[in-house]
Amino acid sequence: MRRFALFICPIMVLAMIACANEQVNVYDQQKQLVKNVMFMVGSDMYFVDGQKLHSI
């Protein structure tokens, strides 16, 4: 059982890192949200306002 735990823990940590997202919010001068851009770490896709627009 200990071997299994030592094997599965690094895999889970790597999976958590791979699923990380970076989010950038763009505001106007009145501090109103204009756009929400989310980049998926480890992927070439990004989303604007929740919709996939481009692949880098």
pLDDT of residue 48: 86
Sign of CA dihedral 52, 46, 19, 22: negative
- What's the pLDDT score for residue 27? 92
Task: Give average pLDDT by consecutive 10-residue segment, the chain, 56 residues.
Answer: 62 58 86 86 80 69
Segments making up each domain of the chain, as ranges:
21-56
Sheet holding 33-40, edge to edge: 21-27, 33-40, 45-48, 51-55
The Cα 22–Cα 39 span in angstroms is 5
At residue 45, the pLDDT reads 80
**Which phi and psi (to 5°) does residue 4 adopt?**
-60, -45
The one-letter amino acid at 46:
Y
pLDDT for position 56: 59
Residue 44: helix, strand or coil by DSSP? coil
* Model pLDDT, residue 44: 80
pLDDT given for residue 16 in this prediction: 55
pLDDT at residue number 8 = 64
